[in-house]
């Protein structure tokens, strides 16, 4: 029902725009044109279209909605950092048995992944070197099982912002998988200067995680 309501709510111009998003990569290209939002509010996919603003949560939901229009299930996955960084959401898709992802991020390296990964662990680990905080620390530690948003259509997550807090709370209840042992964490090197600068190219500084020592 949420997809039907979404289609009904679209203006003709919005329908034409979405009609051009015929592949996962084209969805990513659209998200890349949307400025990164530093605001602590959630936007549903319809509102992302209208405000042309999104952070990672908004972007993942928009991508999941756009993928759904193409026939994919609307799946999201949360990547889990240590306490010195933000978490990050991916919209997932699977082609020929291999996983790919779409994402909105303030960091250049935390966005699209081609569907070449045999499992979700491989996919998440492909983000490891680019997942770092403003102090240059590699912060990715784990990930959740995917969440299918279809059972949450009663929240009208595609067309209304009002249920998004509840949706976000549901991600906290998902089963978690951890990637690193304590020994592995203790051996981590800092991000090199070139990678650091490249990843932050074009970033909205107001939207970066503020470390509290």
Q: What pLDDT was estimated at residue 171? A: 97
Rounded to the nearest angstrom, the gap between the alpha carbon of residue 203 and the centroid of all alpha carbons in its chain is: 16
- Residue with token string 């969440």: 147
Q: Pick the closest to residue 213 from 84, 99, 105 (CA basis).
A: 84
pTM of the predicted structure, to 2 decimals: 0.97
**Dihedral sign for Cα atoms in the order 108, 109, 115, 121:** negative
Helix (H, G, I), strand (E, B) or coil at 147: strand
Please list the ranges in the chain whose pLDDT falls under 70.
1, 213
Which tokens in the block code for residue 104?
A: 């909105």
Give the pLDDT score at 1.
65
pLDDT of residue 13: 97
Residue 116 CA: distances (Å) to CA of 25, 90, 105, 200, 210 = 13, 15, 21, 25, 34
- Beta strand 113-117 with 88-95: parallel, antiparallel or unpaired? unpaired
User: What is residue 212's predicted lDDT score, i.e. its pLDDT?
Assistant: 84
Helices (H), 10-94: 12-19, 24-33, 45-51, 56-69
Q: Determine the distance from the C-alpha atom of residue 35 to the mean position of all C-alpha atoms in its chain, rounded to a whole number.
A: 14
Contact residues for 135 (Cβ-Cβ < 8 A; gap 6+): 84, 211
Q: Can you name the residues that pair with 148 across neighbouring β-strands?
A: 75
pLDDT for 2: 83
CA 18/CA 68 separation, integer angstroms: 12
Structure tokens at 3: 């997809």
């Amino acid at each position: 029902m949420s997809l039907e309501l979404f289609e009904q709510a679209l203006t003709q111009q919005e329908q034409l725009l979405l009609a051009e998003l015929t592949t996962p990569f084209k969805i990513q290209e659209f998200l890349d044109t949307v400025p990164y939002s530093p605001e602590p509010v959630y936007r549903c996919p319809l509102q992302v279209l209208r405000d042309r603003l999104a952070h990672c949560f908004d972007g993942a939901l928009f991508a999941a909605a756009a993928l759904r229009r193409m026939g994919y299930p609307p799946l999201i996955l949360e990547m889990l950092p240590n306490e010195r960084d933000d978490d990050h959401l991916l919209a997932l898709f699977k082609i020929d048995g291999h996983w790919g992802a779409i994402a909105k991020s303030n960091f250049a390296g935390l966005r699209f992944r081609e569907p070449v990964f045999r499992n979700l662990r491989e996919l998440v680990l492909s983000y490891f070197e680019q997942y770092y905080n403003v102090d240059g620390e590699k912060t990715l530690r784990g990930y959740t099982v995917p969440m299918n948003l279809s059972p949450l259509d009663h929240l009208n997550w595609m067309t209304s912002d009002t249920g998004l807090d509840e949706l976000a709370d549901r991600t906290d209840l998902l089963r978690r998988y951890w990637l690193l042992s304590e020994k592995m964490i203790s051996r981590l090197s800092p991000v090199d200067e070139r990678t650091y600068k490249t990843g932050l190219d074009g970033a909205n500084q107001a939207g970066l995680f503020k470390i509290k020592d």
